[in-house]
Structure 1
């Protein structure tokens, strides 16, 4: 356990809480947390998760700009509902990404859990993509992914991070509750 891990955990929890409230400030807080966790995961030899933090940083920059353009007059973002096909395509892409990334990790790194690391990374990227697109279903995917991450982090002795991800599960449940799609706009008569 390090001060960097603890600070990363606090900022990550704050970022998810802010996102569940549809607050724009979630993005700079997420960016700071991703930088700290990139370092933590490199030290723990969780290479896919370290690279995931770099991908998150890119999504944060994109999401920040994307949300800024689509906020409502009250400053909150509009929630969207994807089609079933969009959801299925995303899940299939996550599986494909998992397979490719697991092969790379198993062949070229000393990652102790390449399949788990790759699968959680691929589906985290998908969840972040859905978050950026403002899909309510992002929270359901985060519940599943974060549950698996708790076990992974306990196995790697990253206890503050395991506690953080257990908290993420609760925040994701709350995010799903709060992110109700906006009703369709009434057409003028």
Structure 2
């Protein structure tokens, strides 16, 4: 790992930790992490991953905007509830988008696991959107995505990154617990 990659990983972990603490500062940190990882991936010629970081940077700005509208007097962000119908709709749309992207990657790239890469990328975007919308369910999605990413990185022999994603699993479990009992109905 390069110094830049270490900085990106630490910044990303800090952003996830701050998200669990329900502070709007998570979003500027996540924006910085996206920029740093974008540079890491661009240096390694991983252009699709670099482009995904641009999407994450835009979603960090969206998340900041959403969370600034939900700050309580305590300084923490109010958690929103959602319906099972919304969760099912969003996961279904994401499955279709991930499949379409995976088929495109299989047709035009030499990606050895295009459906896995595309599906995990699509659900990562959904995770960011749900986090921005302050849905507690985002943590369950992050746990699943991070477990699958960790397994993918082990299979690809990217052990340091696999360990980072294992740490993300722990942070997501912590976030789930910290957001328990603080959900409020959205207007």
Report the TM-score, using the length of structure 2 for normalisation: 0.91
Question: Which residue does 1:139 correspond to in 2?
Answer: 139
| Uncovered stretches (5+) of structure 1, i.e. residues with no partner | none
Distance 2:127 2:51 in 1: 16
- Work out whether residues 124 and 142 of structure 1, in 8 Å CA contact, stay in contact via their aligned partners in 2: yes
Question: Which residue does 2:106 correspond to in 1?
Answer: 106
RMSD of equivalent CA atoms: 1.9
Report the TM-score, using the length of structure 1 for normalisation: 0.90
Question: Which residue does 1:81 correspond to in 2?
Answer: 81
| Uncovered stretches (5+) of structure 2, i.e. residues with no partner | none
How far the C-alpha of 1:181 sits from its partner, in A, is 4.8
Distance 1:65 1:155 in 2: 37
Secondary structure of the 1:33 match is helix
The runs of at least 4 consecutive aligned structure 1 residues that moved more than 6 Å come to none
Q: How many residues align?
A: 185
Distance 1:179 1:101 in 2: 32
| Pair 1:47–1:181, CA change in 2 (3 A) | farther
Question: Which residue does 1:9 correspond to in 2?
Answer: 9
Task: Give yes or no for the alignment of 1:163 onto 2:163.
Answer: yes
- Work out whether residues 79 and 181 of structure 1, in 8 Å CA contact, stay in contact via their aligned partners in 2: no
| Pair 1:183–1:91, CA change in 2 (3 A) | closer
> More deviation in 60-69 or 102-111?
102-111
Describe how 1:1-189 pairs up with structure 2 within 5 A: 1-42=1-42, 47-182=47-182
